């Protein structure tokens, strides 16, 4: 019997979610439900065939997985936390660049935290 779980997330931007997965070296495939790509899912393949997906629910990408067949190296909660941390960093970098900031340093620390330094020069 399958027990699919839909984990509540706050991942609303596909571009930043993809960047977070890439930074964490999590392999994924894009899967589109329609031709205009408005319902794109990110599928994380698992060796047992029970893939993990981030599916658009109309407001955000939620994690859909069968908890009995979870084969990632972290628990579901830790998995979401790690992706959330990377996603937040990608949002800060991307949105800051839109207003003229440039990343100077992005470092993953041994305690699990990240250090991000941005700069912007005043042209006055």
Residue range 30-69, pLDDT digits in tens: 988 665 556 789 999 999 999 999 998 888 899 999 888 9
Residue 29 has pLDDT above 90, yes or no: yes
Higher pLDDT, 33 or 81: 81
Phi, psi angle pair for 12, to nearest 5°:
-110, -10
Residue 75 has pLDDT above 70, yes or no: yes
Q: Is the pTM of this model over 0.85?
A: no
List the domain boundaries for the chain: 4-99
Phi-psi region of 112 (alpha: psi -120 to 50; beta: other; left: phi over 0): left
Question: Looking at the domain covering 4-99, what would its CATH class be?
Answer: alpha beta
Q: Which of 104, 80, 109, 94 lies closest to 10, judged by CA? A: 80
């Amino acid at each position: 019997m399958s027990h699919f779980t839909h984990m509540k997330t706050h991942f609303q931007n596909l571009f930043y979610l993809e960047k977070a997965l890439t930074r964490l070296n999590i392999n994924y495939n894009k899967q589109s439900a329609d031709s205009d790509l408005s319902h794109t899912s990110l599928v994380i393949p698992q060796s047992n065939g029970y893939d993990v997906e981030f599916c658009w629910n109309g407001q955000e990408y939620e994690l859909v997985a069968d908890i009995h067949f979870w084969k990632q190296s972290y628990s579901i909660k830790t998995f979401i936390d790690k992706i959330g941390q990377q996603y937040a960093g990608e949002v800060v970098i991307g949105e800051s660049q839109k207003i003229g900031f440039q990343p100077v340093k992005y470092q993953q620390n041994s305690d699990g935290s990240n250090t991000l330094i941005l700069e912007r020069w005043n042209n006055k």
